[in-house]
Amino acid sequence: MIKVATAECFTHGHIAREIHGFSQGYDGEFGPNYNLLNGIPYDLSVVCGIFAPTLSALQKVLKVDPPEPLKLIRGIKVYDEENDKKVAVIMAKAVKDLLGANIGIGTTAGIGRGGIAVSTDEYTVVASSGFYADITTHDSSRLLKRQECGIKKALSIFVDVINDDWDKLMEYDDVYVLDK
Amino acid sequence: MIKVATAECFTHGHIAREIHGFSQGYDGEFGPNYNLLNGIPYDLSVVCGIFAPTLSALQKVLKVDPPEPLKLIRGIKVYDEENDKKVAVIMAKAVKDLLGANIGIGTTAGIGRGGIAVSTDEYTVVASSGFYADITTHDSSRLLKRQECGIKKALSIFVDVINDDWDKLMEYDDVYVLDK
């Protein structure tokens, strides 16, 4: 059984719920919203999915010390894309280690396309959502679009990682890999 | 500003996202799905929303020692209704304390109507979702219905708690209050 844990900001916990719904065999409205996990021949368990929009959630739950945000909106951290990617990596690694999971997924997006990280014990795959938005504008339709792109991108990378499919991982135009 | 933290099982993080969407002023598909928070004259912040379906999430993230579950499904805790209510209280208090929040919300449901708890520094309101389901049957439509009832009930109690509206709190047929 592959244990998965997520620490999510702009994806609002949807990634955890998507993998959970798939792993439990739920269908209809209670099941997965995307078809990206269909056919994965693995036994999965989402041990925990943490929606961590604020700086204090990262500090108090994940016990990490992230970079200083550009600003805070009601405690919500706002980074540029470069730091979002760094923080997504910190979140993915921290939540994996905290839960003793095999795979950790981290997401965060302030101003830019955001950061997505999928960590195993050996490496971390880093990407953006591919869609630009700015959390400080409160533009719901753009934030929704960035969220949907981020969820799909993260799930797609997650599938490639558990399938150990490096050819597919190298096909994304904005993916890079960090060693442990 | 009222800081809110949730630790959710059968409500899958929807309560945190609902309050977050409202507090951020998001609209459309990105905003709240229910109209239960409209008109609350308070500045809210969701500091963290933890989807904690497994026993190990409670132990490793919330640092609590819950009762022994009836069974585990891929690590997911299954309780009867009596213990779900006890565990929801443990979750609500633990997540409130962990995040230094003003209000903590806990939810969990195995076999029965589930448990919902809304904790302040002074007291905890405990209820069920009002709808029976059994997680071990994997009946998605019943589990969805219980989830929707649980989200609405929790949000409704949350509003009554922050409005300090004891008349409304006493109108539910299955609510009781624990002192600190």
Per the document, the length of chain B is 180
DSSP conformation letters of B112-178:
ES-EEEEE-SSEEEEE--SS-EEGGGT-HHHHHHHHHHHHHHHHHHHHHHHTT-HHHHTTSTT-EEE
CB pairs under 8 A between A and B: 140
pLDDT tens digit string along A41-58?
A: 789 999 999 999 999 999
B97 band by pLDDT with thresholds 50, 70 and 90: very high
Instruction: Give this prediction's pTM.
Output: 0.97
| Closest CB to B47 among A17, A29, A75 | A75
pLDDT of residue A141: 97
Averaged pLDDT, B150-157? 98
Q: Do A76 and B45 touch (CB under 8 A)?
A: yes
pLDDT of residue A90: 98
Is B76 at the interface with chain A, CB within 8 A? yes
Cα distance between residue A33 and residue B23, in whole Å: 25
- Percent of chain A beyond pLDDT 90? 93
Averaged pLDDT, B104-133? 98
CATH tag for A2-179 (out of 3.90.1150.10, 3.40.50.300, 3.90.950.20, 1.10.3720.10):
3.90.950.20
Token representation of residue B175? 């609510």
Q: Is B88 exposed, middle or buried (0-12, 13-18, 19+ CB in 10 A)?
A: buried
B179 band by pLDDT with thresholds 50, 70 and 90: confident
Least confident of A32-36, A118-122, B104-108: A32-36
Q: What are phi and psi of B76, to 5 degrees?
A: -80, 130
Residues of B within 8 A of A76 (CB-CB) are 24, 45
Gap from B122 CA to chain A (nearest CA, Å) = 22
Q: Do B54 and A76 touch (CB under 8 A)?
A: no
Domain spans in chain B, listed from the N-terminal domain onward = 2-179
User: What's the DSSP call for residue B29?
Assistant: G
Q: Do B140 and A28 touch (CB under 8 A)?
A: yes
Averaged pLDDT, B37-63? 94
State yes or no: pLDDT of A180 exceeds 80. Answer: no
Q: B129 with B150: CB under 8 angstroms?
A: yes
State yes or no: pLDDT of B180 exceeds 80. Answer: no
pLDDT tens digit string along B53-72?
A: 999 999 999 999 999 999 99
Please report the residues numbered 120 through 149 in chain B whose beta carbons come closer than 8 angstroms to any beta carbon of chain A.
Answer: 138, 140-141, 143-144, 147
Using the Cα atoms of residue B96, residue B17, residue B40 and residue A134 in order, give the sign of their dihedral.
positive
pLDDT of residue B15: 98
pLDDT of residue B125: 98
Is A180 at the interface with chain B, CB within 8 A? no
State yes or no: pLDDT of B75 exceeds 90. Answer: yes
Residues 6+ apart with CB under 8 A from A90: A58, A62, A64, A66, A106
pLDDT of residue A116: 98
pLDDT of residue B41: 78
* A-interface mutation test, from B140, B146, B148, most A Cβ less than 10 A away: B140
B166 band by pLDDT with thresholds 50, 70 and 90: very high
pLDDT of residue A23: 94
pLDDT of residue B168: 95
Averaged pLDDT, B26-55? 92
Is A20 at the interface with chain B, CB within 8 A? yes
B144 band by pLDDT with thresholds 50, 70 and 90: very high
pLDDT tens digit string along A128-142?
A: 999 999 999 989 999
pLDDT of residue A14: 98
